[in-house]
Each structure stands twice: as structure tokens, then as C-alpha cells.
Amino acid sequence: MESRASDEPLPMDVELQLPKEPPKIHRLDQSVVNRIAAGEVIQRPVSAVKELVENSIDANSSSINVTIKDGGLKLIQVSDDGHGIRYEDLSILCERHTTSKLSSFEDLWSIKSMGFRGEALASMTYVGHVTVTTITKGQLHGYRVSYRDGVMEHEPKACAAVKGTQIMVENLFYNMAARRKTLQNSADDYSKIVDLISRFAIHHINVGFSCRKHGAMRADVHTVATSSRLDAIGSVYGVSVARNLMEIEASNDDPSGSPFEMHGFISNADYAAKKITMVLFINDRLVECSALKRAIEVVYSATLPKASKPFIYMTIVVPPENVDVNVHPTKREVSLLNQEVILEKIQTLVESRLRSSNDARTFQEETTEPSSSCYVKPCKEANLSPLVLGSKSQKIPVHKMVRTDSLNPFGRLHAYMDTQPIGHLDKSASLTAVRSSVRQRRYPNDSSGCVTVQQLLDEINSSCHSGLLDIVRHCTYIGMADDVFALLQHNTHLYLANVVNLSKELMYQQVLSRLEHFNAIQLSDPAPLKDLIMLALKEEDVDPESIENDAFKEKVAEMNTNLLKQKADVLEFHFCIHIDQHGNLSRLPVILDQYTPDMDRLPEFVLSLGNDVDWNDEKKMFQTIAATLGDFYAMHPPLLPNPSGEGLRFYKKRKLGCAEQNPCNTTGNDEISENDVDHELLSEAELAWSQREWSIQHVLFPSMRLFFKPPASMATNGTFVQVASLEKLYKIFERC
Ligand code: ADP
Ligand code: MG
């Protein structure tokens, strides 16, 4: 094998310099050997991030945070809350082939950890400056130490530290000029890192991940530990991806054959993307397997030509002795015993799954009656919006060719995936059938609830405004124009749309159509209704001091609590609102996946559940509870003022402001700060606002496309306002 000792370019006249005599063979200097090896293990910044994150996972962490500066060339920082590194081990930590994970060669056959070669940290010290800060359980303080070329630069220094380990790699490839130059010119290293963390995040769902650029408020990947793989996929890749996935499973437990277990999610016919996403883990190791990828791609092209670039998440487990992890220095590729047999089994399974889902879909399309004006006739180009079809057949004047394709992310502030209405209609149609048959079985005599709710749903359908529906289905979300209005583009028109009104109505509609079929949001601490109602009453009050008033409020709170306790069964059964016999609220419904309401509004909600619901008339009861839930779950502006722009003044510290920040915990973050701003409150507000914006873009608008029936009243009550017609704007520009 040939290797060049450095990244220096070869001289142009190589041939002329070739010696006539056989050259003398000599032993390479150890430092050269190490640098060559390091260059192989750490090929790009993303390889360093992978090694560091794998170490954090091996250390049993439950939260891993990655910060990147300059695509990783300036800084890679990975912090975890794992078991830490012992003081005694720090001196050899970064030497080559030092590991805590492997002792004998035979261990390789049962290895469960990601690392085992003891090369990663060492390699990083040969091509970058590594600083480790770590603390182990039961210690009063941690240690920080820097490494260069495998050895410590100084004795470890005692320092304050939070649980776990933080590893910083600075100035990567500082001593490899050519590599640094190539990488500097490529802009995509950060996106490679984001992609990597996204993949880890949907596999290791018991670990919370974040990945952000240094100094950025918002993380580009952010997950919390969860027990649902679909939730994790939704929060990383978007709800619209998660919604279009089918679960697959296969196994072969015949030990004489090729035992394996496979579990995964694969996209259905409604998922459309420009390129395939394949996230593959074999024995918990993130790997690539081009043979498997190809095999699946072939099946998709043959079965679902319109959705031939699938999203695949797959985890395969084989007996450790059947997989050779040691075939690649970065452990990216593995080879499996009986690979062909396994691949073929998986390929056959994927194919039959796709065929059966596709058949069901066709069947639905043929038999479902178009239920309302929103039904889109299935056509060959089902995955193109009607407008794009139009643009194919007739020539569009240049001045009208503006971001009209809502399925094409070009020009959006943030691109997001889309789904087609047809598939959804199918699903909801079959779902409704299943629901009513289940209901019939469980409650053979209960037809009335069904009827009144159906009346409400019919009302929603009949008041649906077809023009607005078209806007909602095919608009492009551009961004928030202010705290309440989003800017949308539809064909050549720009609209402002009130997201509070929209989300309120959408939630209302969703409550009625999901009735009895909610997933639950479990409150970590059950909340006493009475306290919540008291809180809400006090907030409403103009004269909070009055004692007389207090006794009255207590009475109101008491009565409302009793009323809600009596209605607990109805609330639980239909709405997934759980109230225990002590009058504590412990569960709320998930109305839209990936979205929880602003809990600051919980007191108001409970009060209004007691006050505003009409319990006497069944239809009104469903209607008012759904409206109350709609109001609670609506995407109101957070209670803290928007910190961007004018609202920032709110966060100026009052005279007796908060305590000084602890300097020990702010390592690596040197871009602070105007001292007169209350940073804690400010970052709380920033988080609340950015989460809301995320939800508006990734939950509200994608869900509206699928489910929303905008009522006619919205055309005139200021919910939608047309602000400009691009054709007219173009005319103005032409004159300039
Ligand atoms: P390997 O992972 O192959 O053992 P590395 O060079 O990646 O080799 O790491 C060397 C050793 O350092 C690991 O075996 C582990 O004991 C320790 N280590 C590295 N990173 C961490 C971390 N984040 N938390 C705890 N221990 C760590
Ligand atoms: Mg490692």
C-alpha cells in the first residue's frame, strides 16, 4: 500500500527524480507513522465528531451536545453527561492503542461498545489540539488537560466541571496544510456533521442530542430522550416524514442459517424526496452498506416509481461473531457472514410491504367517494401540485414564474418535506371505518355521541371555503411577519395569515376528528385542579389584594373542581384528559404529533373547562370542550415578550439584578455580553419563541395541508389578508 508521509503536493517532475539504484529501506519515524495513521482515522471533521460522540455513547451518557466552529476546523466540542474518565487514566488517555473496552483479541467477537481500537483520541492529538475536561462520580471537582501528539502538555489541572466529559478539538489539521485547504473550500462539513448527529439521534432515542454552530442560539438538531422512535424521527426529519413511514420487521432465528433480526421504518407511496435517505445500524453501529441500499432502491423504483427515493431507517442485529467490525479503520463498513441471504430476505420483505400498501391505496382510491370539494382526483402526476401540471402544459409568462410550486423547497426560508392529500384521505377514510367498528364493538348502544360529533364534523365540512382550502393546501410558508402573522405565498399572491386563529380552529377540528383516539401527554407532576383554578382566578382579578374576594374564589375553585371530578369519565374517555379522584390533572391529549401546548396557559384552560363548557346539551358539550382545548393548544405568542426587536427592552436587568454567572461553567463561550441583560430570562424567551416558530413551520403548516378545512368566515375576519400580487410588483419593478 502506498502512503505519503505528508500532504505536500508531489513535485511535477516526479519521473525525472526517480533514482536509478534501488532506494534504501528505512524505518519511518514514529511520529510520521502516527500522523499517517491519524490522517486515516480522522479524514474530515465529521470523522472526529463521530468518534467523540461514539465515545460519549459508550460512556453511558443520556445527553450529548455538539458545538462546531468553522465546519469543525476551528473547534469541535462534544460534551456529555456520561461516567467520565478516571484521573489515573488521563496520562495515557491519548496514547495510541489505549482503551478501556478491549483486552484480548477474542474480545473483538463479543464487542458491544462502538470503540475498541483506542486510536481515535490519539489520532486527534496528532492532527489537532485536544483538551479534555472530565469529572467522575463522587468527585468534588474535575480535571482539565490538553494533549499534543499523544501526550499530555501539562499535569491535569483541577477545575469545576459538570457531570461527564467535554472534549474540545481545536485547529484540526493545523499541520496538514493541503488537507486544511481542501476542507476550507468545502462548505458542507457542517451539514455532514448535522446529518451524522441526526442519524445518531433517531437510533439512540434514549439519549438527547443537540448540534449547533458555535455562538448560535438555535440548535440544528435537537432531541430529547424519548421512548418512541417515530417521535424521534419526527423531531429530527420533520413530522411529515414520520407520518409517511411504515414499520417493518423481520427475523430469522434459525441458528444454522443466518440468524438476524431487523426492525425499521420505510417510507410509503406518499413520501417524495429528491434523494434517498438510508440510516442503517448494524449491531448498534452506524454503517453503510451499499449493497443493501441498492437492493432497496431497486425495489422502490420498481414498485413505487413516483416515490423512488425513499427514507429508510433500519437496525439489524446479528450475533456478534457473525459480523466483522474490524474491516475499516473508521469502522464505517462492516462485513456480515451470509450477507447475501440476509439482504435478499430484507429485499423480499420490503417489496411485499410496498406492494401490499400500494394495493390498499389503489383500492381506496377507487372506492372512496370524493367527500368534499377538497378531494384531489388521483392522476398520473399525483405528486405534482395542480399548478405545476398547468405549468407543464401551457406556457407561463416569465413574470408569473415565481415560487409557485409549494412542493419545491427552493426559495423558502426553511425547506420542509411535504405530503400529498390523496394518501391522507385514504388513510383517514380507512381509519374512520376502523374507529367506528371499534366503537360499535365497545359501545353497542352508544350511537348518539357518534351522531352529534358527526353533525359537528359535517358542519365543518359544509362551511369549508374552497378558495382558502386551495391556499392552505398549496401555499408556501415564507416566515413569520410579526408575532401573529405568517407570510405565505400562493401562486403569485402574498398573504398574511393569523397563526393564532388558524391553529385554534385546526386544533378544534382535530379534537373532533380524533375523539377517543388520542395519544397522551403525561404531566410529570399531577397538577391539583383547585390550585390551577385559583391561579387563573387571581390572574383575572383586578384587585388581587382583597381578602373577601379570596374566600369567594376558593368557593368557585372548589365548585369547579368538584364539577370536573364528576365529569372525569367523559373527559377521560373522549378527550384523554385524565383527572384522578383527588382532583389532580395528570394527562392531556396529543392533538398534533410533535406539539405540546404552552403549559403557562394551563390554569386558564382548566378554569374555562369548568366555566365555559355546556354540560347539559351533548352536542354543545363536544363543541365547547373542543373549542376550549383549541384555545389552549393554539399557537399563541409566548407570554414572555418577543426578544427580537423592541421586546428586548423587557430583558434589561432591574437594579437588583440576578447573581453573577459562574465563570467556571462558561468554558469555550467567550462571546458574552452586555451585562445589563437578564440572560437567563432572555434565553428562556428565545427558546420559547424559537420553539413556537419551529412548531408553526414544521407542525402547523404541514398539518394544515393535510387536515384543515378553513371556515368561510376566515375569508373576511382578517385571518387571511392578501398583501401583494407579485404580478403587480413586477410591473412596478419593470418601471424602475
Ligand atoms: P476507544 O473508544 O476505541 O476505546 P478512544 O481513543 O476513542 O478509543 O478512547 C480511549 C478511551 O478513552 C476509551 O476507551 C474510554 O475509556 C475513554 N473515553 C474517551 N472518551 C470518553 C468519554 N466521553 N467519556 C468517558 N470515557 C471516555
Ligand atoms: Mg472511541
How do residues 457-472 score in pLDDT, each as one tens digit? 999 999 999 999 999 9
Question: Which residues, at least 6 apart from 417, have a Cβ–Cβ distance to it below 8 Å?
Answer: 237, 238, 240, 241, 271, 272, 273, 702
1-15, 286-300, 333-347: the lowest-pLDDT one: 1-15
For residue 15, the tally of other CB atoms under 10 A from its CB is: 6
Average pLDDT over residues 400-426: 33
Looking at per-residue confidence, does 430 or 288 come out higher? 288
Can you tell me the distance from the alpha carbon of 585 to that of 535, in angstroms, rounded to the nearest whole number?
A: 15
CB 584, CB 514: distance < 8 Å: no
> Nearest Cα to 387, choosing from 486, 470, 293, 477?
470
Q: Which amino acid is at 536?
A: A
Pairwise pLDDT comparison (182 vs 632), residue with the higher score = 632
Pocket mutation for ligand 1, best pick of 121, 134, 162, 168 (most atoms within 8 Å of C-beta): 121
Q: Which residue has the higher pLDDT, 376 or 631?
A: 631
Three cell numbers, residue 62: 443520556
Ligand closest to the CA atom of residue 124: 1
The whole-angstrom distance between residue 155's C-alpha and the CA centroid of its chain comes to: 41
- The residues placing their C-beta within 5 Å of ligand 2, an ion, are 55, 115, 120
pLDDT, greater one: 375 or 239: 239
Residue with more model confidence, 100 or 472? 472
Q: 114: CA distance to ligand 2 center in Å?
A: 7
CA–CA gap between residue 556 and residue 208 (Å, rounded): 42
Q: Is the pLDDT of residue 442 over 70?
A: no
Residue nearest to atom 7 of ligand 1 (CA): 120
pLDDT at 542: 59
Kindly give the number of the ligand 1 atom that is closest to the alpha carbon of 120.
Answer: 6
Decide whether any atom of ligand 1 lies within 6 Å of the 126 Cβ.
no
Q: Whose CA is nearest to atom 25 of ligand 1?
A: 84
Q: Give the distance (Å) from ligand 2 centre to CA of residue 91.
A: 17
- What's the gap in Å between 176 CA and the centre of ligand 1? 25
Please state which of the ranges 24-33, 86-95, 279-288 shows the lowest mean pLDDT: 24-33
**Helix, strand, or coil (residue 364):** helix
Work out the pLDDT band at 551, boundaries 50, 70, 90: confident
Residues 446 and 359: their CA atoms lie apart, in Å, by 34
Of the chain, the percentage scoring pLDDT greater than 90 comes to 38
Q: How many CA atoms lie within 13 A of 137 on its CB side?
A: 5
Neighbours of 205 (CB within 10 A): 20
What is the structure's pLDDT at 230?
95
At residue 539 the predicted structure's pLDDT band, cuts being 50, 70 and 90, is: confident
- The total of other beta-carbon atoms located within 10 Å of residue 193's CB is 26
Phi-psi region of 383 (alpha: psi -120 to 50; beta: other; left: phi over 0): alpha
Contact call for residues 507 and 455 (beta carbons, < 8 A): no
Q: Is 326 in the pocket of ligand 1 (CB under 6 A)?
A: no
> What does the angle CA 418 – CA 420 – CA 425 come to, to the nearest 5 degrees?
135
pLDDT of residue 359: 60
For the segment 359-411, what is each residue's pLDDT rounded down to a tens digit? 655 444 333 333 333 222 333 323 322 222 223 333 333 333 333 333 333 32
Q: Whose CA is nearest to atom 9 of ligand 1?
A: 118
1 vs 625 pLDDT, higher one: 625
Average pLDDT, the chain: 78
pLDDT at residue 110, rounded to an integer: 61
Query: Is residue 441 very low, low, confident or very high in pLDDT (cuts 50, 70, 90)?
Result: very low
pLDDT score recorded for residue 405: 36
* Weakest mean pLDDT among 188-197, 202-211, 367-376, 476-485: 367-376
Distance of CA 231 to the CA centre of its chain: 8
Residue 223 · residue 208 · CB < 8 Å: yes
For residue 368, give Cα distances in angstroms to 237, 325, 371.
31, 51, 8
Over residues 137-163, the pLDDT tens digits come to: 989 999 999 999 889 999 999 999 899
Residue 4's pLDDT is 42
Which pLDDT score, from 0 to 100, does residue 699 have? 84
Q: Do residues 325 and 336 make contact, with C-beta atoms less than 8 angstroms apart?
A: no
Strand partners, 164: 135
Backbone phi, then psi, for 538, in 5-degree steps? -65, -40
CB of 322 within 8 A of CB of 282? no
Closest CA to 219 of 636, 593, 687: 687
DSSP 104: S
Which pairs count as long-range contacts for 545-550, CB under 8 Å and 24+ apart, including other chains?
A: none
Say if residue 533's pLDDT is above 80: yes
- Averaged pLDDT for residues 217-226: 93
Which is nearest to 200 in space by CA: 351, 80, 364? 80
Query: How many whole angstroms separate alpha carbon 247 and alpha carbon 175?
Result: 47
Reduce the DSSP state of residue 8 to 3 states and report it: coil
What is the separation, in whole angstroms, between the first and last Cα of the chain?
Answer: 65
Atom of ligand 1 nearest to the CA of 117: 3
Q: Note the pLDDT tens digit of each residue in 80-92.
A: 999 999 999 999 8
Q: Identify the CA nearest to 540 among candidates 527, 552, 524.
A: 552
CA of 281 to the centre of ligand 1 (A): 21
pLDDT band at 1 (very low <50, low <70, confident <90, very high): very low
- Mention every residue, 6+ apart, whose C-beta is less than 8 A from residue 271: 241, 244, 245, 307, 310, 311, 417, 419
Helices 339-367 and 290-303 pack at an angle, to 10 degrees, of: 20
pLDDT at 113: 63
Q: Is 422 in the pocket of ligand 1 (CB under 6 A)?
A: no
Say if residue 302's pLDDT is above 90.
Answer: no
Q: How far apart are CA 280 and CA 311, in angstroms?
A: 11
517 lines ligand 1 (CB under 6 A): no
DSSP per residue, 52-100 = HHHHHHHTT-SEEEEEEEGGGTSEEEEEE-S----GGGTTTTTSTT--S
pTM exceeding the 0.85 threshold for the entire prediction: no
SS (H, E, C) 290-327: HHHHHHHHHHHHHHCHHHCCCEEEEEEECCHHHEECCC
Examine the pLDDT at 131 and tell me if it is beyond 70. Answer: yes
**What 3-state class would DSSP assign to 130?**
strand
